[in-house]
Amino acid sequence: MQGVEADVAAAVGARAEPREHRGGPMDRLLKGAAGSGRLNLFSQAAVVLWALILVGCGGTSVAVRTEQFPDPVVPQLPLHIGVHFTESFSQHRLQETVPQRGDWSIDVGAAQVAMLRTVLPGMFQQVTEIETWPDEAAELPPGIDAILVPQVEDMQFSIPAQTRSNFFEFWVRYRMTLQTASGEEIGTWPVTAYGKTRDLMLERSEAAMREAAVNALRDAGAFLAIGFPSQQEIQHWLDRRLADNARPSDRSDTTRGGES
């Protein structure tokens, strides 16, 4: 496992009508304390406590950025791979309620698609995105060797308040399925990754969680690129396909030639 880790390191709201502001609970608390002349240490502490409660009950939305994914440093395989991003994958959003910390919503769909759009061309000689799959009526480009369909199998996160640590953490487990051009399964395997970032006292929690998620996606891309050639589930197909592609031949009639 240490060798793999070393390789990984090397490889890589609704619109509202304007209305008069009448002040919320915080305003009333401040005015009440000031008006009575009792803005003492006790009332100041109450104000701070009430502010923390209000913040804790709010929601946190994180949009994971879609850039800064590195190209994999691995030997490129002489294969033409199609990739199909399902709607649930490309629009995936992790939503969870953290007790006493409110609702969290982490939009990771666009970022994980961007990661694969960077990683896959570094792994294979040619990559083609397939919009509709499986679809018997769809016309695939000539010479497609196989179709890769990534899925989110599990995704979790944690914040410092949950773990009593100084880190925001993010876990993801993908299920990669490789299919022939006729839709038959060749093999399936998991890709698991983890990312974290330290809690920065002057940084917003959204930025810290965004960085943890990006680190996890980078990790996933590296594991996918390095581990693909050695996956036992596809090893037999891969060896045979590489041998076939190494022979000089006319592949013009192999539009749906992944069946072998």
CA distance 105 to 61: 5
pLDDT value of residue 20: 41
Domain boundaries, the chain: 24-56, 60-249
Chain centroid, CA 24 distance in Å: 38
Predicted structure pTM score: 0.72
pLDDT of residue 246: 84
Under CATH, domain 60-249 is a member of which superfamily? ABC-type transport auxiliary lipoprotein component (3.40.50.10610)
Amino acid in the structure at residue 89: F
- Whole-number pLDDT of residue 249: 56
* pLDDT tens, residue order, the chain (260 aa): 444 444 544 444 333 333 344 444 434 433 444 444 444 544 444 433 434 444 444 689 999 988 779 999 999 999 999 999 999 999 999 999 888 778 999 999 999 999 999 999 999 999 999 988 877 656 788 889 999 999 999 999 999 888 888 899 999 999 999 999 888 999 999 999 999 998 765 468 889 999 999 999 999 999 999 999 999 999 999 999 999 888 875 444 444 444 44
> From the centroid of its chain, how far is CA 135?
26
CB atoms within 10 A of CB 35: 9
Token pair for 32: 């009440």
In the prediction, which pLDDT does 258 show? 43
**How far from 173 is each of 190, 194, 232, 239, CA to CA, in Å?**
7, 9, 18, 26
Q: Tell me which residue has tokens 């038959």.
A: 184
Q: Which pairs with CB-CB distance under 8 Å and at least 24 residues apart come from 6-10? A: 7/222, 7/226, 8/219, 8/222, 8/223, 8/226, 10/73
